[in-house]
Copies of this chain bind each other. A is one copy, B any other.
Amino acid sequence: MKYSPSKENYLKAIFHLQQDDSVVSTNALARQLNTSAASVTDMLKKLKTQKLLQYQPYRGVRLTAEGKKVALQIIRKHRLWEYFLVEKLAFGWEEVHEIAEELEHISSTKLIDRLDHFLGNPRTDPHGDPIPDAQGSMPLVQQTSLIDLPVRKQAAVISVSNQSTAMLDLLKHHHIGIGTKLAVNRRFEFDQTLEISIPNRPVFTISELLAANLFVAYDTTTTA
């Protein structure tokens, strides 16, 4: 019931990579964890022995129910700590990921449940990602990439899928954050850039890459 920080990082990475329920490749994991494919193979064998994942040589990997459960608890801890750092210690949302990467491995579940309560049981972290509850259930927030947002449709940013400092830096520059309301004015076919407008601010243009990593929610009820 207690795993090393390294093992926890593996489980979390696999969880994130197997979006739906597809298998995850050794190379994809190596890239994500910034390690060699050989190290990944070594670790997968150990995690398999512990029945945290299904793994057949050359066939990729997928978490068992138990593996998912562990991964979700780590994700819960990660996101609650991120929320704490931003809301209570006034950190910027672009600097908390790294610190939470360490804090997520503190083992006490009593600690994390008290922290959850202290923070007022937040539903999403500073990046708009949902926080699993103590039982590990996490609401499936259905989100649309900005790429797919209809033109002139008002929408609110609910999460960002890339959380690199570089990307968060760019978002700050454009005054985009979780909750920001915006609309796509038009798409330029030549380079797929988008012109964006935020109420009471000058319009500006963003790249296709940025748009692909910005997720929004918008009113889908058809106005009669």
Residues of A within 8 A of B (CB): 85, 88-91, 98-99, 102-103, 106-108, 111, 114-115, 118
A27 to chain B, nearest CB (A): 30
What 15 new A-B contacts, CB under 8 Å, besides A99-B106, A103-B106? A85-B111, A88-B118, A89-B111, A89-B114, A89-B115, A89-B118, A90-B114, A91-B114, A98-B108, A99-B108, A99-B111, A102-B106, A102-B107, A102-B108, A106-B106
**Which B-chain residue is minimally distant from A114 (CB atoms)?**
B89
Main secondary structure of the interface of A (DSSP, over half): helix
* CA of A193 to CA of B102, assembled, Å: 47
Between A and B, 15 residue pairs with Cβ closer than 8 Å are A85-B111, A88-B118, A89-B111, A89-B114, A89-B115, A89-B118, A90-B114, A98-B108, A99-B106, A99-B108, A99-B111, A102-B107, A102-B108, A103-B106, A106-B106
Q: How many copies does the complex hold?
A: 2
CB-defined contacts of A85 to chain B, threshold 8 Å? 111
A115 to chain B, nearest CB (A): 6
A102 to chain B, nearest CB (A): 5
* CA of A91 to CA of B89, assembled, Å: 20
The 9 closest A-B pairs by CB, nearest first: A89-B114, A99-B108, A102-B106, A89-B118, A99-B111, A88-B118, A103-B106, A89-B115, A102-B107
A60 to chain B, nearest CB (A): 34
* CA of A115 to CA of B89, assembled, Å: 7
Most buried by B among A99, A103, A111, A115: A111
CB-defined contacts of A91 to chain B, threshold 8 Å? 114
CB-defined contacts of A88 to chain B, threshold 8 Å? 118
